[in-house]
């Protein structure tokens, strides 16, 4: 990944656009990243991963909501320490 200052980015913007097609470019100001220049393919990949993560989180929440509905009433009264103790006993 190429790293350039904001001043360098202003002066070499066309070159950085070409460079971003091969690898992401980090633009810094006062030594800290402030922006990234990405190719459309890299951006699509990031957005696809973000969408997949959102779907997986929703599936995870649905699974646990369904599982919680199946629990015996006594299970809701267990503390975290009780659960840890029971798991250790089974091991």
Per residue in 12-58, pLDDT (tens digit) is 999 999 999 999 999 999 999 999 999 999 999 999 999 999 999 99
Sorted by where each begins, the domain ranges of the chain are 2-38, 42-90
Element (H or E) spanning 34, and its range? strand 32-37
pTM over 0.85: no
CB-based burial, 5-36: b 16+ in 10 Å, e otherwise: eeeebeeeeeebeebbeeebbebbeeeeeeee
CB 29 within 8 A of CB 6: yes
Q: How many helices (H) and strands (E) does the chain have?
A: 4, 3
Separation of alpha carbons 52 and 60, rounded Å: 12
For the segment(s) 2-38, the CATH number from 3.30.70.260, 2.10.210.10, 3.30.70.3420, 3.40.1620.10 is 3.40.1620.10
């Amino acid at each position: 990944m190429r790293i350039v200052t904001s001043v360098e980015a202003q002066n070499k913007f066309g070159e950085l656009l070409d460079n971003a097609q091969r690898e992401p470019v980090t633009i810094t100001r006062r030594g800290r990243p402030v922006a990234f220049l990405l190719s459309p393919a890299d951006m699509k990949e990031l957005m696809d991963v973000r969408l997949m993560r959102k779907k997986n989180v929703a599936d995870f929440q649905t699974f646990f909501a369904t599982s919680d509905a199946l629990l015996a009433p006594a299970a809701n009264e267990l503390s975290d320490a009780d659960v840890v103790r029971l798991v250790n006993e089974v091991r």
